[in-house]
A = this chain, B = another copy of it.
């Protein structure tokens, strides 16, 4: 089993890298707008677009993680009969969601 198989987002890796590359370009575009003294509200519109793109990425990663964590924790619970690993994974995921909700 490779590391690649461990994380749920790996099959979509190329898509995530493309989206993050685009976000990086958007942030650079915002810097350019600031540098060129563009209108504040137009800059804020671009900031909102970056926020929105980041939210989409984080929801995708979260969905991949839940799918993986569900499968792995299901497997472990099936063999060990204990829900300790599941509870820890769920707590960890909920805390990540909480940080995304701020």
Which residues 47-102 of A have a CB within 8 angstroms of B?
47-48, 50-52, 54-55, 57-59, 61-71, 73-75, 77-78, 83, 86-87, 89-94, 96-102
List B contacts of A65 (CB < 8 A): 40-41, 44
Main secondary structure of the interface of A (DSSP, over half): helix
- Chain B: minimal CB distance from A7 (Å): 5
Contacts of A99 in B (CB 8 A): 44-45, 48
What number of copies of this chain does the assembly contain? 4
Inter-chain contacts of A94 with B (CB < 8 A): 59, 62-63, 66
> Chain B residues near A16 (CB, 8 Å)?
31, 34
How many of A's residues come within 8 Å of B, CB to CB? Answer: 70
Residues of A within 8 A of B (CB): 3-4, 6-10, 13, 16-17, 20-21, 23-24, 27-28, 30-31, 34-35, 37-41, 43-45, 47-48, 50-52, 54-55, 57-59, 61-71, 73-75, 77-78, 83, 86-87, 89-94, 96-102
